[in-house]
Each structure stands twice: as structure tokens, then as C-alpha cells.
Amino acid sequence: MEFFGRLLDYAVQLWPFRVVEPWERGYYLVFSRPKRNLGPGIYPVVPYFTDVKALSIAESRVTSPLLSVKLQSGKLLAFSVSARVRVTDVKQAEINVQAYQETTAEEIAATMAEALAECSPDRLATVKKRRNWLAEVTHELNGRVREYGVEVLEIQFTNWIEDVRSYRLLQDSALSPPSLTW
């Protein structure tokens, strides 16, 4: 049974066409060098010499685990965020970073924690003020993830718990895997 599976994989590798689906964008690899960008369609390839790499560019959600940070006011804040993201440059997402999904999720969590720790308390006083502040952080975050070929469209808080007492026996990320499928 394993023999037929391997034979089928080999036949697929030798198939002279690759498909880029409507929700994907791709690029040609010629002698292992990235070349021309591709939209949806069927593209001819010469096995072993050329190939087509494709990634989904559909919007997706990235969530952070529950994080804790000490605010300038001295309060301890437990928070988590959810961000709408999408791939804007397939070549950069594949080439400039090892794992663009995981790296983007980690960059969002780290940037939010740093920004909250440095933010003045009056900017976080109401939901409306937090939304305006989030728009600024989103702009800053896009400057960081642009090199990964990713764009953050919006960030929202999913948890906001002030003055929480934190007792941790295990790290939150050990309890639940990050959302890596987008």
C-alpha cells in the first residue's frame, strides 16, 4: 500500500502543470530562484527545473493567548487580542521568514504587550479611546510585519481584565496551541 502512495506522489511531482486556486497567489521557482508572480490559473512546469509555489491570500484571524502586563498606572492587566491578517506578498511570506504565520502571531502578541506597557493610562480609559489607540498600534505593527509579506487589518481585544491577581503554574501557550492555520 505504501508503495502505491509513493508512486502516486512521484507521478504528481512529474505532472507538468500546477494550479493556483482563486483564493491564492503564487510565483514561479526557476532553478530554485523566485521569479514572476502568478494569479489564479493553471501553469506549466518542467519537473525538477521549475515549480509553482502558492499561498492563500484570504483574510484570517490570529489570536493571542492570555497575556499579562504591568501598566504605567501600576495595575496588572491580563489581555488577549484577535487580529485580522492577510498575506500581501507571497514571495516575502515564503522567503523572508521561516514560518510567517507563527512569526506574525508572536509579533502581534509582543507588540501589543510592549505598547500597553508604554501607554499612558488615560489613552486606555474607555473602549472608544482603546479603539483609537489600537488603530495606531496596528499602523506600527504593519511596519514590523511588512517584511514578512503580511498585513494586519484590524486588532481587537478579546479579553481585558484589570487588577487581576496572576498565579501561574503553567504558561498559557503550553495549555493551548497558537492559531497557526490561516
* pLDDT on residue 6: 85
Residue with cell 518542467: 46
For the stretch 122-177, pLDDT in tens is: 888 888 898 899 999 999 999 999 999 999 999 999 998 888 776 666 655 555 55
The answer to whether 6 and 41 have CB atoms below 8 angstroms apart is: no
Query: Top-level CATH class of 60-164?
Result: alpha beta
pLDDT tier at 15, thresholds 50, 70, 90: confident
**How far apart are the C-alpha atoms of 131 and 135, rounded to whole Å?**
6
DSSP labels, 79-113: EEEEEEEEES-HHHHHHSSS-HHHHHHHHHHHHHH
Identity (one letter) of the amino acid at 41?
G
**How far apart are the C-alpha atoms of 64 and 79, rounded to whole Å?**
9
Tell me the mean pLDDT in the region 77-91: 95
Range from 32-36, 114-118, 125-129, 178-182 carrying the lowest mean pLDDT: 178-182
For helices 100-118 and 127-145, give the axis angle rounded to 10 degrees.
130
* Domain locations in the chain as residue ranges: 2-56, 60-164
* pLDDT on residue 172: 54
The answer to whether 64 and 105 have CB atoms below 8 angstroms apart is: yes
Mean pLDDT of the chain: 88
* pLDDT on residue 162: 87
